Amino acid sequence: MDQQLDADAIAALLARDRAHAWHPYASMTSPPPAYPVVAARGVRLQLADGRELIDGMASWWAAIHGYNHPLLNAAAQAQLDNMAHVMFGGITHPAAAELCELLAEIVPGRLPHVFLCDSGSVAVEVGIKMALQYHLSQGNRDRKRLLALRGGYHGDTFMAMSVCDPVTGMHHLFRGALPEQLFAPRPEAPFAARADDAAVAADVARFEAALAAHAHELAAVILEPVVQGAGGMHFYSPAFLAAVRARCDAHGVLLIADEIATGFGRTGRLFACEHAGIAPDILCLGKALTGGYMSLAATLASERVSRGICEGEAGVLMHGPTFMGNPLACALAIASIRLLLSQPWQRRIETLEQGLRAGLAGAAALPGVREVRVLGGIGVVEMKAPVEMARIQRLLVERGVWIRPFGKLVYTMPPYIMQPDDLAALTGGIVDTLQQLETGETG
């Protein structure tokens, strides 16, 4: 994995990047440092100057098998030899049919109808559109709003933004343009809390109050099961999730589960809904779907939802992305899912969880740390104050570690294949960096 560039080539690459490439959540007038990666294999990223970093982000939680996996590479090549793309309107192909069947087989409950789309945000848009169109088709024209949980994150497109947390999200920037949704308090009972726990009962009571007050105008409740991801890496009790499912049924409100971050094993179950033993009416998937190789997402619906839409006024779901059902992405998704299921992935997640708990434990004693929490393949150090992104990232890279903190959260969601020594180096680099920041050393 030696693709090292000389100093002049690195300077030219960075100059082109600064001049033209608009990175996510970044300024073009004062762009933050960008680290040039020229190759990736296993759990390592190779920088242009020859340094290697242990990747603790799995490319925003997607590259669960690591990089350059021979089985996934072979699947991509085999599909390329046939076709990279063909439109999905009026045409089908083997990879799409097989993927849809496979997803319907492995998800919780019975969600037999699969809409393939481009990204997680689009999967959420489609899920919300399904819920709205379902109620319109049933003659429930007043049910046009969503109830979400505070602290949630569901994507950056407009309808997805509208159900993100109204304080930590982007509502204030787009006030007046975003649809106005409703929000229930974030559940506070921790992951281990049982249904008879007083904290769970309090969470359920607050949710029930919000739901009951607005059920007549609600198309759906949307939430991230058990783990709220980019909204704060917050873990909550599966008992609360089970209660939400029951309350939605009682009020005739659909439940949309956003498993874009949690799907495909990240929390220790194949899907986070399984912790509560429930199934949603609509399920959104993405990120790890292709093992991090290509952008692909899916929105799955129950028979009730799909029949309700298709027997309504329009007779069809009103959505159709150009690259829907891309054959190359579908082939990679099939290969990634079958690779995951063929391996002892649950044991790997348990090993990751143990290593994350042991490796991050030392951060808990640091004065600036509010809490350390771990669930499955997710390790989080929550600080008392926001971190200085450019500085902490530089210190981490100097230690051979790649993660992407945000706000007060220094967290890792590594590839499932990470071995104990690399995990120890990753967590050790995180703790050492936080300790250096606490002491004020410049490094």
Catalytic annotation present for 287: yes
Of the candidates 401, 402, 397, 387, which has an alpha carbon nearest to the alpha carbon of residue 434? 387
Q: What is the average pLDDT score of the chain?
A: 96
Q: 430 and 365, same structural domain?
A: yes
Burial class (CB in 10 A: 0-12, 13-18, 19+), 1: middle
| Interatomic CA distance for residues 276 and 237, integer angstroms | 9
Provide the sign of the torsion angle of the four alpha carbons 258, 260, 265, 266, taken in this order: negative
Catalytic annotation present for 25: yes
Q: 312 and 185, same structural domain?
A: yes
Which residues, 6 or more positions from 273, have their beta carbon under 8 angstroms from its beta carbon?
108, 225, 241, 257, 259, 279, 280, 283
Considering 67, 118, 129, 287, which one is annotated as catalytic? Answer: 287
Token pair, residue 62, equals 């997607």
Token pair, residue 18, equals 């600064």
Give the pLDDT of residue 41: 97
Looking at per-residue pLDDT, the higher value among 345 and 166 belongs to: 345
Give the pLDDT of residue 170: 74
The SS3 assignment for 227 reads strand
Considering 2, 8, 25, 196, which one is annotated as catalytic? Answer: 25
| Interatomic CA distance for residues 215 and 331, integer angstroms | 41
pLDDT tens string 77-112:
999 999 999 999 999 999 999 999 999 999 999 999
Q: Which one of 308, 341, 374 terminates a domain?
A: 341
Q: 310 and 197, same structural domain?
A: yes
Considering 153, 293, 411, 416, which one is annotated as catalytic? Answer: 153
Q: 36 and 22, same structural domain?
A: yes
Domain of residue 305, CATH code: 3.40.640.10
Cβ–Cβ contacts within 10 Å for residue 183, how many? 18
Catalytic annotation present for 153: yes
Q: What is the largest CA-CA distance in the chain?
A: 66
pLDDT tens string 30-62:
998 899 999 999 999 999 999 999 999 999 999
| Interatomic CA distance for residues 235 and 227, integer angstroms | 5
Domain of residue 394, CATH code: 3.90.1150.10
Give the pLDDT of residue 71: 98
Are the CB atoms for 242 and 201 separated by under 8 Å? no
N-term to C-term CA, the chain: 28
Q: Which one of 307, 341, 375 terminates a domain?
A: 341
Q: 352 and 331, same structural domain?
A: no
> Is residue 38 included in any domain, yes or no?
yes
Considering 165, 258, 281, 422, which one is annotated as catalytic? Answer: 258
**% the chain with pLDDT above 90:** 94
Q: Which domain holds residue 214?
A: 72-341
User: What mean pLDDT do residues 375-386 have?
Assistant: 98
Q: 377 and 295, same structural domain?
A: no
